[in-house]
A and B are shown apart, each in its own frame.
Chain A
Amino acid sequence: MADLTAIVIESSYVIRKGWTQILRSFDEIRNIYEFAEIEECLPLLPKYHPDLVLYHSSRIHQEIGSYLSGKEIGKIFWVDISPEEHKKENVPEWADLSLSPLLPRERIRQSLEQIMHDLGGVTDQDNHTELSHREITVLKLISRGLTNKEIADKMYISPHTVITHRKNITRKLGIKTVAGLTVYAILNKLVSLDEIES
C-alpha cells in the first residue's frame, strides 16, 4: 500500500470536508490534514511531509516560494482547487494542476486517480509484497545495524540504490523504522539474535 500524505487548505468548511471525503476514498492516501488558512499550514509542512497539497487562491505563490526555499520538504504536488480556474482554464504558476470543485464527479475522480498514479501509488504490479533476494540481503544488513553507506560498499551498489531498496522494503512490509525491520527479520529467521547483538 502506498503511503501518501495529503493536505487540504480551504476556508469553506463544506468544501474542505468535501475534498477530504473524496481523498479518503483513495487507498493510496494514509494521512489527510485539514487547514482553513495557508498561514497555519506552512510551518507544519516540514513536519507533515505532504505529497499532495490542495489549495486555492492565486496570491499565495510568492509566500509559498519564499517559505519553502531552503526547507527540506521534498517534492509536493500542488493542486489548485479554486472554482474560478474552472472558467479560465489555466493553471496558476505555483500549481501542478487545477481542479475546480465545480467539475463533475467523474472528472475529479479521474484527475485524482492520475495524480495518485504519478505519485507512485498502488499499481497492480506494485502489489507484490514478497521481498526480492536483493531486498532480503539489504534487510539483513539493516538489522545488523549497518548504515546505507556500509551496505552499499558490501553489496557493490550505490547508496542511492540502497535507499531505493529500503523504500521498497518499507512499502512492502509496512514497517518504517530500523528497530521494526529488525524485529521482522528475527521473526522470519533472516537473522539471529546473536548477529544483532554482536
Chain B
Amino acid sequence: MITGKTKMADLIHLNHKLLPVIGRFGISLGFGDSTVNEICRKKGIETAFFLEVVNAFHDPDYYPQENLRQFSLQLIVDYLRNTHRFYLDKKIPEIEEMIEAMIRDCYPGKEHIDLIKVFFGNYRKELIAHIEREEETVFPYALMVEEAFLKGSLTGEQREQIRKRSMKDYQEEHDDIEEKLYDLKNIIIKYLPQPQDVSGCTHILYELFYLEQDINDHSRIEDKVLAPKVEQMEKVLLERYPLSDG
C-alpha cells in the first residue's frame, strides 16, 4: 500500500500507470527523493485524498474506505473533471493521431483504417456527450446537495430537485461508451486485415487497453465514492427537512 512516507519515485517504479494520475494532480517528474507527504505539501494537495486515489488506482481491489468519503465533494468533482480533461485533451487526440499516422503511412487497405477512424470519431462524440452530461447535470447536482447539507437548510426548490431526480436516477442512465471501446479492441484484434507493419495496430491497442482501464477506474470513483456520499446526504436532508417548510 502506498503511504505518505512512500517516495514519489518509488510509487512510479511500483506502477508506471500512475504517471498520468499524478499528472492530473499537477505533479511533474524530477522529484528526487521527496516523499508523497513532502510533494503534496509543496503543491498544496490534500495528501489523504491523493493517497486514496493512487491506492484505488494501483490496486483494483482496493476498497475506497470511509476516509475517502470524508473529503469534500468539490475535491472529488475537481479530480473527476481533471480526468475528463485528460481524456479529451490528451488521450483521445493521441489515439486519433495514431490512426491518422496509419492512414498516412498508407499500405494497401487504407479504407479499413478509414473505418476505424470513423468508428473512433463516433466513440469520441459519445464520450464528449457523456462527459458533458456529467459535468453539466450530475456534478452540479451533487454539489448542490452538499451545499444544502453543509448549510443545514433545504429550499423547497432543492427538495423538489432531489425528489424529481436523485443521484440514483442519474446513475441508472448509462450509455454504451464502454461497449464501443470493447468492440473497437475486438475489431482490431480479431477482424482487421493486418498491415505489413503491425506496430501501428499494436500501439493503438495498447492505448485502447490503457484508456479502458483508466475509464473503469474513473467510474469506480464515481460509483463507489461520489454516488454513495451524495445518496447519504440526500437521505439526511429529506429526513431532516420534511415537506411543507418550502
Contact = CB atoms under 8 A, between A and B. Distances in A.
B190 A174 contact: yes
B115 A186 contact: yes
A80 interface: no
B242 interface: no
Given A177-B176, A183-B115, A34 B61 contact: yes
A183 B180 CA distance: 12
A47 B224 CA distance: 13
A15 interface: no
A17 interface: yes
Interface string B153-174: 0000000000000001001101
B95 to A, nearest CB: 16
25 contacts: A20-B61, A34-B61, A43-B171, A43-B228, A43-B231, A44-B223, A47-B223, A173-B186, A174-B186, A174-B190, A175-B183, A176-B182, A176-B183, A177-B179, A179-B122, A179-B180, A180-B119, A180-B183, A180-B184, A180-B186, A184-B187, A186-B115, A187-B191, A187-B193, A188-B191
Interface in A35-62: 36, 40, 43-44, 46-47
Interface residues of B, number: 28
A175 B186 contact: yes
Nearest to A48: B223
Contacts of A46: 172
Contacts of A174: 186, 190
**Residue from B172, B174, B227 having most chain A Cβ neighbours under 10 A:** B172
